[in-house]
Amino acid sequence: MKDYFVTTKNVMKFHAVMARIHHKLKGVERMALFFGDPGLGKSETALQYAANNGSLYIRMKKLMNARWFLTELADDLGGSPKWRTKDLFDQCCELLRTRKKTLILDEVDYFTQDSRVTETLRDLHDIAGTPMIFIGMNQADKRLKRYPHLWDRFIEIVRFEPLDNEDVAKMTKELSEVQFSDDAIEWISRTSEGKIRGIIGLIHRAERIAQGARVRTITARDFK
């Protein structure tokens, strides 16, 4: 099985949104929210984008408060975090202005109970003009709606959907040298519930089946 990042429909939507938020229009917000069930490739897509485009990826933590976030942000931007909170915030704003990094914030559900974190992110966006991507679970949109001043700044709100038969067919073609019949593709899609980890596991299983049975094409019946 090949180690390869497959561009699914969700990934294409992600890249389209990233292109739209990196505009140069004054007075137009530059925030976007991606959310959806676990296992649909949100984090992997964000990490792949950050690695290829120089964006700054930060995974939020359960116990993270505003100061902890600012300290990590300053450190990731190459600064030596200031001690006083005001100086630390000003430092982060300046680093964001000069480094011109897009912030990708994963697991945003963790801070939706803390208004100080949400307001700090809004301030950084407004003062530094930093594009910000929020990535969360299935209820992230509802949780963030509690903060109207932040919610109004999202110009793109996109749900990651379960992978369909076309996505699964693309994954089998690009990740495996074994061929899959149409009913096998449909079986994988249904059994995995369109989640990437499940799809990859079933492709790996299919390769073992194909090797053991010495066949080149896997059908739904072979899985059973």
pLDDT tens digits, residue range 91-107? 999 999 898 889 999 99
Say if residue 129's pLDDT is above 90. Answer: no
Please compute, for residue 22, the number of CA atoms within 13 A of its CA located in the half-sphere on the CB side: 12
- Which strands sit side by side in the sheet containing 103-106, from one edge to the other? 56-59, 103-106, 132-136, 31-35, 154-159
User: Residue 137 has what pLDDT?
Assistant: 94
**pLDDT at residue 27, as a whole number:** 59
Domain boundaries, the chain: 9-159, 165-223
Closest Cα partner for 17 from 6, 33, 5? 33
Predicted pLDDT of residue 179: 92
Beta carbons within 8 Å of 38's beta carbon, 6+ residues apart:
137, 195
Q: How confident is the model at residue 28 (pLDDT cuts 50, 70, 90)?
A: low
Q: What is the separation of C-alpha 43 from the centre of its chain, rounded to a whole number of angstroms? A: 4
Q: Which CATH architecture has domain 9-159?
A: 3-Layer(aba) Sandwich (3.40)
DSSP state of 177: S
Q: For residue 45, what pLDDT band results from cuts at 50, 70 and 90?
A: very high
Alpha-carbon distance of 92 to 97, in angstroms, equals 9
Mean pLDDT on 211-215: 78
The pLDDT, as a whole number, for residue 64 is: 87
The third-level CATH classification (topology) of the domain covering 165-223 is: Helicase, Ruva Protein; domain 3 (1.10.8)
pLDDT band at 222 (very low <50, low <70, confident <90, very high): confident
